[in-house]
């Protein structure tokens, strides 16, 4: 299958999937039986929903077309979220039928856990012989904890971070490229070498994805302690994470000049792929999918997420998309069959080839990441370093917008408006007040 030339944000190509002749867990004979069963399945209608606001075109390219091909007797419908029209609570209040939801792990707490649509899929998973041991275990463990020991969703794709770098900039300044296995100290040193001004243009060495500093930290620290419903921010480990990943790389004078030019913001994905003045940036495998045209005009590659010395070989946390059968679905078996297909070797293999990181631990599938793209020779194995446990996520942290308080105050340290110790105390106070207020509603 050839990839499309133009990809939209978060677009995942799953159309025209071919049947993989070998390597799938059930074997060719079982696949043939399954294909026949799919064709002869009882007609049902399945309705999909996501808070992501994806268009119907994107939904069809991501899921719909492939599902219809695999299950020709199923009618697949999609309700696009339109604010103040088809928000989830509006649909639920009106009695709308939703069978399957999918969302990022960040949205899962609100869209499933707190909405009343959560359904424990444990028995369905057993009945449909879906082997949970095939998945990267940190994702399953996290979802079980979020589901109170049950399982309200399954991982579908993984937006885990690694370190992208612009070879053209390193060549321009005669600095050696970053390598797999580098520590944060080494990356910060490299960043300082690359941060400079030339011909009136300020170049910066490294910038993290700001939200991911907190939600993907390698120490698996949660934003909120679920046992106390209190913010975790005011401790030495968080201080080390923030200082290492955000403060130290941004504090030389030339870097500060760039932040001033950017109205107090650190360099981001646009700085890396459009301006091409940022040398290194942490992002998921979706970066060259989303910015295909921009990245086609730069010489780039990717290396492993920098490691803390005391966590050798450990990368960022997994950051999966999650797919769920809803509580109100009248066609739970059919919905489970679709989810079983979307998490199958066959489907995960094809999506991996098109640049979407698999949620399966099968190394043969992992090695195919990006093979159907123009970037098949890139070092995509860098995304598959050791996974730390996923930090627990809670409904209360979403309601209280805790992440926004963490990032906003961290940027005050970057901009010299607050020292880090004051930031930790202030953020703790603000977050706890918001958490208390959210819990009282």
Q: How many C-beta atoms lie closer than 10 Å to residue 130's C-beta?
A: 18
Closest C-alpha to 232, from 428, 437, 62? 428
Q: What is the mean pLDDT of the chain?
A: 90
At residue 185, the 3 state secondary structure works out as helix
> What's the pLDDT tens digit per position in 55-114?
999 899 888 999 999 999 999 999 999 988 899 999 999 999 999 999 999 899 989 999
pLDDT band at residue 5 using 50, 70 and 90 as cut-offs:
very low
- Using only C-alpha atoms, what is the Rg of the chain? 22
pLDDT band at residue 441 using 50, 70 and 90 as cut-offs:
confident
Q: How far apart are CA 3 and CA 135, in angstroms?
A: 26
pLDDT band at residue 42 using 50, 70 and 90 as cut-offs:
confident
> What's the pLDDT tens digit per position in 252-283?
999 999 999 999 999 999 999 999 999 999 99
pTM summary value: 0.89
Average pLDDT over residues 163-174: 98
pLDDT band at residue 24 using 50, 70 and 90 as cut-offs:
very low
pLDDT band at residue 34 using 50, 70 and 90 as cut-offs:
low
Q: How far apart are CA 431 and CA 399, in angstroms?
A: 11
Rounded to 10°, the helix 332-342/345-353 angle is 50
- Looking at residue 26, its pLDDT comes to 43
Classify each residue of 108-125 as buried b or exposed e, where b means 16 or more C-beta atoms within 10 Å of its C-beta.
bbebbbbbebbbebeebb
pLDDT band at residue 230 using 50, 70 and 90 as cut-offs:
very high
Average pLDDT over residues 304-321: 97
- Contacts of residue 66, defined as CB under 8 A and 6 or more positions apart, other chains included, come to 14, 15, 16, 17, 347
> What's the pLDDT tens digit per position in 114-159?
999 999 999 999 999 999 999 999 999 999 999 999 999 999 999 9
What is the DSSP track for 316-346?
A: PPP-EEEEEE-TT-S-HHHHHHHHHHHTSHH
Q: Are 403 and 223 in contact (CB under 8 A)?
A: yes
Question: How distant is the alpha carbon of residue 265 from its chain centre?
Answer: 22
- Looking at residue 121, its pLDDT comes to 98
Q: Are 223 and 391 in contact (CB under 8 A)?
A: yes
- Looking at residue 23, its pLDDT comes to 34
What is the DSSP track for 127-141?
A: HTT--GGGB-HHHHH
Q: Are 32 and 24 in contact (CB under 8 A)?
A: no
Q: Given the DSSP bridges, would you call strands 201-207 and 278-283 parallel, antiparallel or unpaired?
A: parallel
Please list the alpha-helical segments (H only) found in 64-178. 65-70, 88-94, 105-108, 122-127, 137-146, 167-173
């Amino acid at each position: 299958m050839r990839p499309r030339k133009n990809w939209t944000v978060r677009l995942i190509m799953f159309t025209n999937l071919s049947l993989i002749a070998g390597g799938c867990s059930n074997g060719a004979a079982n696949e043939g039986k399954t294909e026949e069963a799919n064709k002869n399945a009882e007609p049902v209608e399945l309705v999909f929903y996501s808070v992501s606001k994806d268009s119907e075109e994107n939904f069809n390219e991501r899921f719909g077309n492939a599902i219809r091909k695999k299950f020709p007797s199923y009618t697949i419908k999609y309700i696009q979220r339109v604010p103040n029209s088809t928000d989830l609570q509006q649909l639920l209040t009106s009695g709308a039928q939703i069978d399957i939801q999918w969302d990022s792990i960040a949205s899962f707490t609100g869209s499933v856990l707190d909405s009343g649509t959560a359904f424990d899929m444990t028995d369905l998973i057993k009945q449909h012989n879906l082997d949970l041991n095939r998945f990267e275990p940190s994702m399953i463990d996290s979802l079980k904890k979020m589901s109170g020991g049950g399982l309200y969703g399954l991982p579908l794709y993984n937006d885990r971070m690694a370190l992208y770098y612009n070879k053209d900039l390193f060549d321009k300044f005669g600095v050696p490229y970053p390598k797999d296995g580098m520590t944060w100290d080494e990356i910060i040193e490299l960043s300082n070498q690359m941060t400079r001004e030339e011909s009136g243009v300020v170049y910066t060495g490294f910038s993290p994805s700001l939200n991911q500093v907190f939600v993907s930290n390698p120490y698996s620290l949660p934003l909120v302690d679920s046992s106390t419903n209190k913010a975790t921010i005011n401790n030495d480990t968080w201080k080390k994470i923030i200082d290492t990943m955000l403060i130290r790389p941004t504090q030389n004078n030339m870097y500060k000049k760039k932040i001033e030019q950017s109205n107090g913001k650190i360099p981001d994905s646009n700085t890396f792929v459009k301006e091409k003045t940022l040398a290194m940036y942490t992002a998921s495998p979706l970066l060259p999918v989303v910015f295909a045209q921009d990245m086609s005009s730069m010489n780039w590659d990717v290396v492993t997420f920098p490691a803390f010395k005391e966590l050798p070989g450990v990368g960022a946390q997994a950051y999966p998309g999650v797919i769920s059968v809803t509580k109100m679905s009248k066609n739970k078996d059919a919905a489970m069959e679709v989810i079983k297909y979307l998490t199958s070797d066959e489907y995960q293999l094809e999506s991996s080839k098109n640049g979407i990181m698999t949620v399966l631990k099968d190394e043969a599938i992992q090695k195919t990441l990006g093979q159907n793209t123009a970037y098949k020779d890139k070092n995509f194995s860098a995304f598959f370093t050791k996974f730390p446990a996923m930090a627990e996520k809670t409904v209360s942290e979403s309601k209280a917008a805790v992440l926004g308080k963490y990032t906003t105050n961290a940027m005050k340290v970057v901009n010299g408006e607050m020292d880090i110790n004051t930031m930790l105390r202030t953020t703790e106070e603000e977050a706890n007040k918001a958490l208390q207020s959210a819990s009282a509603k």
